[in-house]
C-alpha cells in the first residue's frame, strides 16, 4: 500500500520540537483531534494528525487490519522524516503499539490512550450495522438521519460522534467511513497481533478513570511488550479522554514528551 498515502495535516511545521503524530480511533478522524492539537501547538509542538484508511478523507480499501494500518503510517513517517513521538487512541493505539514494535527506529516515545495489546470482546459491529441500516437516499437533512439513528443508538453523545462521519457530496448525504470494510474486518479490529513483540523505549499508557478498557489483568501483557512503560489514570474521564479531560491529559503528555 505504499502507493496510497493517508490524508494528514502537518501543523506548526516550523517548530524545533520533534513531530507528534496523533492516530485516532475507530469511527474517528483527524478532525476529532484538532482542538487538542491546537493546545499542543500553542506550546510549540509540531503536530501531525492523520486519517486512517477507511476513515476521514483517506482512501477506502477492502483490507482493514493492523499490519496494513502500520504500513500506511510508516509511509507518512517516512515522508515527514523519522523519528516521531506518537499518540494513539483506541484502534489508533493498537496501530501505534504495533508500529513501535515493528519499526522502533521510527518512534521515539509512545503514548497509548485507553487501550491494551489484547483481544477485546465488546465488538463495535452494532454501530456499523446501525449506520448501514440508514437509507441515506431517503434523507436530505442531518437532523433526520440523527432521528433515525436514535432508534439503534440512543446515547446522544455517541450518536453525535458517529454523525461526524456524515458528509454531503453532490447534494447527497454519504458516510465518509467505509462501513462495509469495517463490518467485514471487525474481528481483526477487535483483536491484536500476537507475535514476539517488544518496544523498549519510553511508553506511556493512559487510562480514563471511568473506563474499563485497561484492566488490571492486562498490565502483564503491557509489561511483557513494553518493559519501559508507566500507567497514568486521568480523572473524570472515560474512553474519550481527550474530550472528557483535555487539560489533565495535555499536562500529562507535555511532561512525558519534554522529560
Catalytic center residues: 90, 239
Burial class (CB in 10 A: 0-12, 13-18, 19+), 34: middle
Q: Identify whether the C-beta of residue 229 lies closer than 8 Å to the C-beta of residue 102.
A: no
Q: Identify whether the C-beta of residue 246 lies closer than 8 Å to the C-beta of residue 36.
A: yes
Q: Identify whether the C-beta of residue 234 lies closer than 8 Å to the C-beta of residue 245.
A: yes
Cα four-point dihedral sign 226, 10, 161, 135:
negative
Give 122's contacts (C-beta < 8 A, 6+ positions apart): 190
Amino acid at each position: 500500500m505504499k502507493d496510497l498515502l493517508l490524508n494528514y495535516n502537518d501543523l506548526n511545521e516550523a517548530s524545533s520540537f520533534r513531530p507528534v503524530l496523533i492516530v485516532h480511533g475507530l469511527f474517528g478522524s483527524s478532525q476529532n483531534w484538532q482542538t487538542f492539537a491546537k493546545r499542543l501547538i500553542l506550546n510549540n509542538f509540531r503536530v501531525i494528525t492523520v486519517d486512517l484508511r477507511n476513515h476521514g478523507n483517506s482512501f477506502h480499501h477492502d483490507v482493514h487490519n493492523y499490519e496494513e494500518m502500520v504500513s500506511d503510517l510508516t509511509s507518512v513517517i517516512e515522508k515527514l522524516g523519522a523519528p516521531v513521538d506518537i499518540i494513539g487512541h483506541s484502534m489508533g493505539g493498537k496501530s501505534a503499539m504495533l508500529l513501535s514494535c515493528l519499526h522502533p527506529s521510527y518512534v521515539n516515545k509512545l503514548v497509548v490512550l485507553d487501550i491494551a495489546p489484547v483481544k477485546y470482546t465488546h465488538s463495535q459491529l452494532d454501530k456499523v450495522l446501525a449506520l448501514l441500516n440508514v437509507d441515506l437516499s431517503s434523507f436530505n437533512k442531518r437532523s433526520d438521519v440523527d432521528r433515525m439513528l436514535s432508534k439503534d443508538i440512543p446515547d446522544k453523545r455517541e450518536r453525535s460522534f458517529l454523525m461526524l462521519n456524515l458528509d454531503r457530496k453532490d447534494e447527497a448525504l454519504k458516510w465518509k467511513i467505509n462501513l462495509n470494510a469495517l463490518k467485514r474486518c471487525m474481528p481483526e479490529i477487535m483483536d491484536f497481533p500476537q507475535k514476539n513483540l517488544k518496544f523498549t523505549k519510553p511508553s506511556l499508557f493512559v487510562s480514563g478513570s471511568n473506563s474499563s478498557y485497561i484492566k488490571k489483568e492486562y498490565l502483564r501483557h503491557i509489561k511483557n511488550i513494553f518493559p519501559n512503560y508507566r500507567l497514568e489514570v486521568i480523572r473524570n474521564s472515560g474512553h474519550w479522554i481527550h474530550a472528557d479531560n483535555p487539560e489533565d491529559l495535555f499536562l500529562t503528555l507535555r511532561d512525558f514528551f519534554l522529560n
